[in-house]
Amino acid sequence: MKHFLFFILLFSTQLMAFEPADRTSTDTVRTEITTATPAAVVTRLNLPARSKVTNSSVISPYLIVQKTFALYWEGGVGVDYTHQKLADERLHFSADYLSSRLGSAWGSNALKQDYFSAGVHWHSWQHSSLRWVNGLKGSYFTVDYEDDEFNNLPSSTILVAFETGMLYTTSLLDVKMLFGVHFFSGNGSTIPGSVFPVYSQLSVLLPIRLNDR
């Protein structure tokens, strides 16, 4: 009997030891159980396991300088975005504003022209400090002729360009050099004449890594 009572006491003590101290502890146990199932699904999709370290996005504001071949220098700003879910940060989306006002037209008679662009780029050699970048960029282009006599000339258009180049990443900054080719350029009738076919761009990016909660 003594032994039986001692067993009961010991069992109760053990139960108390494993008894959740409060509601929070109970939730923790439940959370572990519920996350177990999605983790299995994620594994079957062959996507990286979730963790606070890897599940993050990178936003990179950048300064950009463009030289159109046989035409103007142009300057501007933009922002690049990628995420761990975007093919392990290989796929990048960007938006930028570029203008000759921040280049050749600064204090000169060059045409004042602006580009509002959105791009999508694929970064190869992801784990190297030197990456190969390819992509497409669409732009709304507009130019100011500054005189009513030229009202009948085309002053805006949609541009599509293929871009290729390299990105060099350091611990602080990324430096990107791209060469671009417009699918359509000025033709003397429907597209503004200051759209030239080939350009090069130098961008300096400041990557900011944001961890998901």
Q: Rounded to the nearest whole angstrom, what is the least distance from the CB of residue 96 to other proteins in the complex?
A: 23
Binding segment for other proteins (CB under 8 A), chosen from 11-19, 28-36, 45-53, 146-154, is 146-154
In the list 152, 170, 171, 213, the residue contacting other proteins (rule: CB under 8 A) is: 152
Q: Is 22 among the residues that bind other proteins (CB under 8 A)?
A: no
Say whether residue 78 binds other proteins (CB under 8 A).
Answer: no
**Mask of contacts with other proteins, 182-201, x by CB under 8 A?**
---xxxxx--xxxxxxx---
First vs last C-alpha separation in the chain: 55
DSSP string, 43-76: HHTTPPPP-TTTSEEEEEEEEEEEEETTS-EEEE
Q: Which of 31, 54, 108, 124 binds other proteins (CB under 8 A)?
A: 108
CA distance 68 to 201: 9
Evaluate whether 128 touches 106 at the Cβ level (below 8 Å): no
54 binds other proteins (CB under 8 A): no
Residue of 64, 98, 111, 133 that binds other proteins (CB under 8 A): 111
DSSP lists the bridge partners of residue 75 as: 65, 99
Q: Is the dihedral of CA 32, 35, 41, 44 positive or negative?
A: negative
User: What minimum distance in Å lies between the beta carbon of 190 and other proteins?
Assistant: 9
Nearer to other proteins, 46 or 152 (CB): 152
156 binds other proteins (CB under 8 A): no
Residue 205 has φ and ψ, to the nearest 5°, of -110, 145
Check binding of 139 to other proteins (CB under 8 A). Answer: no
Cα distances (angstroms) measured from residue 132 to each of 37, 86, 136, 199: 38, 17, 14, 18
| Rounded to 5°, angle at Cα 107 from 106 and 112 | 50
Of 130, 147, 171, 213, the residue at the interface with other proteins (CB under 8 A) is 147
Task: Give the residue, chosen from 13, 46, 109, 170, that forms a contact with other proteins under the rule CB under 8 A.
Answer: 109
